[in-house]
Amino acid sequence: MLRSVKALVLFSLLLCLPVVAQASRDHAHNDAELTLVNEAGLPAEARETLHLVKQHGPFPFPRDGVVFSNFEHRLPQQPRSYYHEYTVKTPGAHNRGARRIVCGPLPECYYTGDHYRTFQRIKG
């Protein structure tokens, strides 16, 4: 009985390995894995948000400046409260939309246009 339980546990672990490996490949753990974008290459609304971040506000959305927890592990790992997120207005959206600027200590900022699935490091 014990032998079959051990075999079942080992088999279950082996089944999970491809999923874990894929998840690891999907996470960007350092800046080398992020694409770069010049500030001029950002949408106009993102440039406006970045300008407000550099001025420390005022921000148009109540959640602007909240801690970004990096649960997706798309940005380099840092201690909690290292990153903060800011809404980038989306023309025609009736809510906050999917676009954000996420910053560590300035000038370290990132742009996502797809609600944290991908990020670009903003050169600045």
- pLDDT block averages, 10 residues each, the chain of length 124: 51 46 46 86 97 97 97 95 97 93 97 96 90
Q: Could you give all domains of the chain from N- to C-terminal order, each with its CATH number?
A: 30-123 (3.10.450.30)
Cα 114 to the chain's mean position, in Å?
A: 10
Catalytic residue among 29, 85, 94, 108: 85
Which of the 8 DSSP states describes residue 62? T
Q: What's the whole-model pTM score?
A: 0.75
Active site residue 51: no
- Residue type at 54 in one-letter notation: K
* Environment class of 96 (CB within 10 Å of its CB; exposed 0-12, middle 13-18, buried 19+): middle
Whole-angstrom distance, CA of residue 73 vs CA of residue 40:
26
Active site residue 85: yes
Which of the 8 DSSP states describes residue 109? E
Catalytic residue among 27, 29, 51, 115: 115
